Amino acid sequence: MKINLSTPINQLGYGIAGLNICKELSEITDLSLFPIGPIQITNRNDAEKIKPCLISAQMLDFHSPSIKIWHQHDMSQFPGKGIRIGFPFFELDTFSDIEKHHLNSVDYIFVCSEWAKNICSRNLTIDDDRIMVVPLGVDQDIFKPCTAVDSDKTIFFNCGKWEIRKGHDALVKIFNMAFDEKDNVELWLMCSNPFLSVEESSEWESLYKNSKLGEKIKIIPRADTQEEVYNIMSHIDCGIFPSRAEGWNLELLELMSCGKHVIATNVSAHTEFCKSSNARLVDVLEQENAYDGKWFFGNGKWAKITKNNIREFADLVRNVHEEKMFSKLGTNQEGIKTAKDFSWKNTARKIYQHVQHIQK
């Protein structure tokens, strides 16, 4: 069976997913790769993996099924004449008219969570049996189990581009509520957003650095490779993700794979892999219009982070620090087990199985 794959190949969310799916899928089927945008490869092995897929695309089979890993508002262009499968990652509970128009036009839709499938079922006219769940993965050759540096200090971490959606306005409140100047803690942030202006990025950084515990907050430049991300994660104790909405939250799963503890909202796509057994979850019962004045303008809803939710997060953050002080924190073994089930190899197998079923 031959598959045509359209996807970004870079170090952003879509690009990381696209690269790993391309590498693993090419191991089990004949794959033609049609990159969206410039290719950004950080090592020779990855380059060698995708090279045959690019060559194969020069003589594509026009009748093979095509998968497009891309935004839900741009599903009009597919290589060839075969079955068209859209694979978007989205965060909100509804779609705009343009998004509905594009998603309803494809033959099948792959989504990465049951949460996302339910949203498609409620909002689209495409039949439910044409909406199929394909969970994303984590590269366990890179994100291996590790322990934090032996230190009395508890290091908390958040990774994800500066956004209201990701709860960065709430995270600073959580950290400052949880601790005082005397507490031996730090918060590391790797949140550079390439789509923000210098002024906008500076505003986010100032929000943290000028806060009560600004001297305990470290802002880390964006890592260029997944190996660099792992090196940073290996030095922390716990990830904090007060997200209002997520399309997957890859960094959260990567931390689990490293054996790190995580605290997150119990909402949206990461509920596919976040359970009470592997994560400390905060239930968010209210919703609000998804508005940040930058990317979202009220078309749909996301979780409303209330004062009570911030207190719950602060309590959980303090608990982690207390466990670390009394040598009770240990490794998140359940997180490691979960990550093994969410490998990129399993993602590729699921795609292959679904395409086989479609073609019968």
pLDDT score of 142 more than 80 = yes
Q: In angstroms, what is the C-alpha Rg of the chain?
A: 21
Query: pLDDT at position 147, please?
Result: 79
Give the global pTM.
0.94
Query: pLDDT at position 42, please?
Result: 87
Chain-wide mean pLDDT for the chain?
96
pLDDT score of 144 more than 80 = yes
- Identify the band that residue 160 occupies on the pLDDT scale cut at 50, 70 and 90: very high
Query: pLDDT at position 115, please?
Result: 98
pLDDT score of 149 more than 80 = no
Q: Which domains does the chain have, with CATH numbers?
A: 2-137+343-359 (3.40.50.2000), 154-341 (3.40.50.2000)
| pLDDT one-digit tens code per residue, 174-211 | 999 999 999 999 999 999 998 899 999 999 999 999 99
| pLDDT one-digit tens code per residue, 351-360 | 999 999 998 7
| pLDDT one-digit tens code per residue, 70-115 | 999 999 999 999 999 999 999 999 999 999 999 999 999 999 999 9
| pLDDT one-digit tens code per residue, 3-46 | 999 999 998 889 999 999 999 999 999 999 999 999 999 889 99
| pLDDT one-digit tens code per residue, 305-332 | 999 999 999 999 999 999 999 999 999 9
